[in-house]
Amino acid sequence: MAWDEWEHIKAGAAAGPSTSTRLNQLAPSAGGGGVGKPDLAASPAAKKAPTA
């Protein structure tokens, strides 16, 4: 009896939709931090400066 139940469960899982990722919250409407700021900024002098 248990084997028949297991086969029934496997068949139901195979016929169902595939797994997918579900987010628990929405992304911020502004797209996160750093809005209006450039990604990278460096001057030629800063590039040539020795590192500590």
Q: What is the pLDDT of residue 19?
A: 72
Please identify which residue in the block is written with the tokens 């009896």.
1
Terminal Cα distance for the chain, rounded:
72
Residue range 1-52, pLDDT digits in tens:
688 999 998 888 888 777 777 777 776 666 555 566 666 667 888 777 776 6
CA gap 8, 47 in Å, rounded:
66
CA gap 27, 42 in Å, rounded:
30
CA gap 50, 35 in Å, rounded:
30
Q: What is the pLDDT of residue 5?
A: 92
